[in-house]
Amino acid sequence: MTRRIAVVVLLALSGAWVCAQEVKPVPKDSIRISIPGCAKGAVFTVGLRTAEEPGSINLPEGTHMHMNGPKKILSDIKAHEGVRIELSGIVKRMDLQPDAMSVGKGVSISQGVPRSAPTTGGAPVPSQIQIDVEGWRQIPGDCRVR
């Protein structure tokens, strides 16, 4: 009898572990990335890639991304301002091609003119990359003050 109970408990615990390992699926128009840099408020600034923290995508140093995500994760990141972090999340592929314009599902046109959004003053402002934050970790180094 005790052996049956032990087997049932073991199966229940292993099932809970498998459920905790599930990863959110990535939409077809998006990509999951991890990138080193620094955060300040809701803005993440891409930092210099190193051999230790190469990231999963090549974005120029200094690129700004607006972070969206669960309040707990964003407040944890805000508590670590001033230290380098590696951010993981989902970004729309279109946001990574700043000179392309979407004209339909999976179709874009590029003419070499940066995509921009008008402001009230009439001067165009480049659109900012949006990242849906899934996680982060602290990495060695400090953030430079600019």
Residue 76 in this model has a pLDDT that exceeds 50? yes
pTM over 0.75: no
- Among residues 13, 76, 80, 86, which one has the least CA distance to residue 49? 86
- pLDDT tens profile 2-50: 666 655 555 555 554 444 445 678 889 999 999 999 999 999 999 887 7
pLDDT, position 54: 60
Among all chains, which residue has been given the structure tokens 């999951």?
A: 32
Q: Which H helix or E strand runs over 64?
A: strand 64-68
pLDDT confidence bin for 85, thresholds 50/70/90: very high
CA 88/CA 35 separation, integer angstroms: 7
Map out the domains of the chain with their CATH numbers: 25-142 (2.40.50)
- Give me the chain's average pLDDT, please: 75
- pLDDT tens profile 37-68: 999 999 999 988 776 666 667 788 889 999 99
Tell me, what DSSP letter sits at residue 54? Answer: -
State the alpha helices, DSSP H only, in 21-146. 71-79
Q: How many beta carbons lie within 10 A of that of residue 9, not counting itself?
A: 10
How much of the chain, in percent, has pLDDT values that exceed 90? Answer: 34
